[in-house]
Amino acid sequence: MGDFKPLDLPKFKGIVRHESARMGLGSYSMEGESSFTLALALSAAVKKIFFEKSETTFSGEPLLSKKAITQFAHRMRVDAMEKFNATTVCAAVHFAASQEDLDRQEYMLMLVVYLEQRFLPEFLRMLQYPYIDFDEVDEVKDGCGTLANLIAGQYKREMIQLGYKDLMMSHFESFINAAPDGLGIPKGLTDKYEISFEVEGTKRLVVELVTLDMLPKWKAVEKAAPKKLLIIDDDVTFIKIIEPFLKSQGFDVIVAYNGAEGIKRLGMKPQLIVLDIQMPVMDGYEFILEKKKIREAVDVPVIVLTAREGMAEMFRIEGAREYLLKPFQPAALLKSIQRCL
């Protein structure tokens, strides 16, 4: 099978030139910062994820095609059943230049991931994610969203290799069969790229890319080291969703599944702690008391997560910087982290 190697930039540029010529897109080039180049990078990112997680390779090269966007009210129409002619789950992730632009829905790029609902548990198993209940709609939608987050996070890393700026990424939106109100897209776009992947000779996964051609690139300056976060929570599903999301936002993420593990991870010198309260072995309140005894960790800010209302003041007295009531959107946690750092 052979090892899966990192993106070979010179070889990749050659593929861009060859494929753009084959498709009659002669004006597209690396220098032109084209959406076609970004579509090929997306294809590479998906293949890399499946190989690294499970050593799975697709049956053949992904099929890449350019298609017109069907719009209504300046939003992209999404009928997921057009992809597989069966019950289909899909999830979208948006990218923007800043969190403020995300909030204003001023997008630069969007990914949409589609797969038949019946194959979703198999895909998650290949990627080493927990089993989901096929009949639970929310679990199915969260499972597809997790897959979309994983692809989007890897894609951001591939884009950085190509010299593009690290864009802000939204939390996923998930749907079954259709997005009722459509999806927001970058202004002025009329085309998208569709990439189809086959497993054992059958189309099983489709990823769409909607992007501006002229995305920002990094200037030749040294990037700061990523901030280090410690997430302490015994909810495996929560960790599987929030960890790739925070990594996609440029953080170095450390994980612990109870307070005792969290105390041990303090030696890794996190700059902020996101702490659940109700956990086995050592709960969040006990963790805070133990943390106070460690001189190097006393001043590390803590964001408390809990499903119990009315406890905010108690945790602030014990030194917590902020307090989030579960359930919450990852974007809310991101804003809280940004305030604390």
Angle value at C-alpha 281, between 277 and 285, nearest 5 degrees: 30
Q: Which of 39-53, 116-130, 280-294 has the highest mean pLDDT?
A: 280-294
Name the β-bridge partners of 323: 304
The rounded distance, in Å, linking the Cα atoms of 322 and 25 is 51
pLDDT, averaged across the chain? 81
Can you tell me the mean pLDDT for 297-317? 73
pLDDT tier at 55, thresholds 50, 70, 90: low
Please choose, from the candidates 59, 119, 42, 63, the residue with its C-alpha nearest in 3D space to the C-alpha of residue 88.
119
What backbone phi and psi angles, to 5 degrees, belong to 24?
75, 30
All domains of the chain in start order, with CATH:
9-211 (3.40.1550.10), 228-340 (3.40.50.2300)
Lowest mean pLDDT among 40-49, 83-92, 255-264: 40-49
Residue pair 40/16 in contact (Cβ under 8 Å)? The answer is yes
Instruction: Indicate the Cα dihedral angle 24, 198, 71, 30, nearest 10°.
Output: -40
Of 45 and 218, which is predicted with more confidence? 45
